């Protein structure tokens, strides 16, 4: 089973960094296929924290090759800084350990400028202000800058000038001046020079790796409910976050994918605007936030917290074709007298058991809860499912039963070692 996709099955922040790091021990290649520096993956090894935004979470395994696929949008300065940070920790020792797809699109200062101006408007989405959306817009409009263009000064200048000219009326209408083309181009070329040893054809590289029988792990960003097509639109990201995006974002055909693992917290969180049926805007929600350290790795913003939403999780299981479920942060629920899960909704007085895709309808949902007994025991030392307290194990098993997907891993703490492996990745 050489090709495995790992995706977030909620609104992001599910703990993908830790799970991908664990699975990367068995992988030869780890590839990011969508999103950009709006995705912060937190890795904790022996108490030391590393947050990656663009470099795949497999970076902690020195024999693993990391690939940033063509479906991503890359802030070149962020990537240069991240590579330097990794190398200062003894990671990415050689240029061959990181491949950056030359077709991936580039985030430039004017993307961040236009996004910041939009977020000041009344209908703000609550973005990370990293320029992700405007970069994908430029891509769709066929005026985007690609990574390969950072090595072509004349082409780069032409495209940047076209973009500055196109955005000038909007920027000026919002009360700001257009940015300097000369400055943008010179800084982008400098970053391109540093990235040049890594730039290559990611699609060909991955095809050769799979053809050679290598284990390739495709690392998703954000979560399924933020998918631009299948999420709670318009409160979504600008790319395909579901498993299918692994193919379009890397140039690997769908018949090459062998399995998909979805990651869910033992509860639910969301950042930014958008409907959230099980949100707890009270002391219980604050308790979850503090116990789970629910503050964004990228923005530092406090995350909205609530009970686990089973219909939303079933939606994610269906659109991704999940073959397994990894449950993270089960330890955060410790000490609660009871733990609730949303098993259905009421909409206009009628019970429904699936998540509507109209954001206004989702905002009017009333959750129907099932209560399960809590537990007081510390879970951090559990290394098998049998080590869990009876009520904690019953909770995890009930979640799997309701979603209809088997559990492959349970995380009982932030450190790599604080994990229960039930089924190894890649069929090992």
Antiparallel, parallel or unpaired: β 338-347 and 366-373:
antiparallel
Q: Which string of DSSP letters, residue by residue, matches 270-310?
A: E-SSS--TTB--SHHHHHHHHHTT-B-TTT-PBPEEE-EEH
**How much is the pLDDT for 37?**
81
Catalytic residues: 13, 41
Q: What would the mean pLDDT of 263-279 be, rounded to a whole number?
A: 96
Span 307-354, pLDDT tens digits: 999 999 999 999 999 999 999 999 999 999 999 999 999 999 999 999
pLDDT band of residue 60 (cuts 50, 70, 90) is: confident
Q: What is the pTM of this model?
A: 0.92
Is the pLDDT at 1 greater than 60, yes or no? Answer: no
Structure-model confidence comparison of residues 405 and 59, the more confident one: 405
Is the pLDDT at 50 greater than 90, yes or no? Answer: no
Q: Where are the domains of the chain?
A: 3-102+198-260, 105-194, 264-420
Report angle CA 369, 408, 280 to the nearest 5 degrees. 25
pLDDT band of residue 92 (cuts 50, 70, 90) is: confident
H, E, C per residue of 73-98: EECHHHHHHHHHHHHHCCCCCCHHHE
Span 16-30, pLDDT tens digits: 889 988 999 999 999
Report angle CA 206, 74, 18 to the nearest 5 degrees. 70
Architecture of the domain made up of 3-102+198-260: 3-Layer(aba) Sandwich (3.40)
Span 139-188, pLDDT tens digits: 999 999 999 999 999 999 999 999 999 999 989 888 889 999 999 999 99
Place of tokens 């055909």: 253
State which CATH number among 3.40.190.10, 3.90.170.10, 3.90.1150.10, 3.30.450.40 fits the domain covering 264-420: 3.90.170.10
Extended strands (E) in 297-418:
304-306, 308-309, 324-328, 338-347, 350-352, 366-373, 407-411
320 sits in which H/E element: helix 310-320
């Amino acid at each position: 089973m050489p090709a495995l996709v790992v995706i977030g099955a909620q609104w992001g922040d599910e703990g993908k960094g830790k799970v991908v790091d664990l699975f990367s021990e068995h992988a030869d290649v780890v590839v990011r296929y969508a999103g950009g520096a709006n995705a912060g993956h937190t890795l904790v090894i022996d108490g030391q924290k590393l947050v990656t935004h663009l470099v795949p979470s497999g970076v902690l395994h020195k024999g693993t090759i990391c690939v940033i696929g063509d479906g991503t949008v890359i802030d070149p300065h962020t990537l240069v800084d991240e590579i330097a940070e990794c190398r200062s920790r003894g990671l990415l020792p050689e240029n061959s350990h990181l491949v950056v797809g030359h077709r991936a699109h580039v985030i430039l200062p004017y993307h961040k400028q236009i996004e910041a101006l939009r977020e000041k408007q009344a209908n703000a989405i609550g973005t990370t202000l990293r320029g992700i959306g405007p970069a994908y817009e430029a891509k769709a409009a066929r005026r985007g800058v690609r990574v390969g263009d950072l090595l072509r000064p004349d082409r780069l200048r032409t495209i940047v000038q076209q973009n500055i000219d196109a955005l000038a009326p909007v920027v000026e209408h919002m009360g700001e001046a257009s940015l300097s083309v000369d400055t943008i181009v010179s800084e982008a070329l400098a970053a391109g020079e540093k990235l040049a040893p890594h730039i290559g054809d990611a699609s060909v590289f991955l095809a050769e790796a799979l053809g050679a029988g290598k284990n390739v792990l495709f690392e998703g960003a954000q979560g399924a409910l933020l998918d631009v097509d299948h999420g709670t639109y318009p409160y979504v990201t600008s790319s395909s976050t579901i498993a299918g995006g692994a193919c379009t974002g890397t140039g690997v055909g769908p018949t090459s994918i062998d399995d998909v693992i979805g990651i869910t917290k033992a509860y639910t969180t969301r950042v930014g605007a958008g409907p959230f049926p099980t949100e707890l805007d009270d002391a219980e929600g604050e308790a979850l936030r503090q116990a789970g350290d629910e503050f964004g790795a990228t923005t530092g913003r406090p995350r909205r917290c609530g009970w686990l939403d089973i219909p939303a999780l079933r939606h994610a299981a269906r659109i991704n074709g999940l073959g397994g479920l990894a449950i993270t942060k089960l330890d955060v629920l410790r000490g609660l007298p009871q733990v609730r899960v949303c098993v259905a909704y009421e909409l206009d007085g009628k019970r429904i058991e699936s998540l509507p895709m109209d954001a206004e309808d989702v905002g009017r949902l009333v959750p129907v809860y099932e209560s399960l007994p809590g537990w007081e025991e510390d879970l951090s030392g559990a290394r098998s499912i049998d080590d869990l307290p009876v009520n904690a194990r019953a909770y995890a098993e009930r979640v799997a039963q309701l979603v209809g997907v088997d559990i492959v891993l349970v995380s009982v703490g932030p450190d790599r070692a604080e994990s229960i492996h039930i089924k190894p990745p890649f069929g090992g």
